[in-house]
Amino acid sequence: MLEQRRSYLQNMEEHGAVHGWVAPLNREDREFLAYFRSVCKRYNIVPSKATKLEYDFVTRVAESEFYLQRANG
């Protein structure tokens, strides 16, 4: 079992090295990030300098508004 796991991890390492570890953003991801930035701007919050409370706040506001807009069409 340990050898099988080691083989699996080795294959994953090789795949990641060849194809990259991060998937490109899809359209929904790009739209959400743009909306997230607009929410940060609305509340004058810089994500890299935000406290955990501020960051959690803008994240929840952005998620709830973004997905509500998408659901409503």
pLDDT recorded at residue 51: 98
Helical pair 27-42 and 52-72, crossing angle rounded to 10 deg: 130
Residue 11 maps to a domain: no
Domain of 70 in residue numbering reads as 25-73
Can you give the pLDDT of all 73 residues of the chain as single tens digits? 688 888 888 888 888 878 777 778 899 999 999 999 999 999 999 999 999 999 999 999 999 999 999 999 7
Distance of CA 18 to the CA centre of its chain: 22
**pTM of the complete model:** 0.70
Q: How far apart are CA 61 and CA 54, in angstroms?
A: 11
**Alpha-carbon span 48 to 43, nearest angstrom:** 14
| Pairwise CA distance, residues 10 & 31, whole Å | 35
In a domain, 18, yes or no: no
State the total domains in the chain. 1
Report if residue 4 sits inside a domain. Answer: no
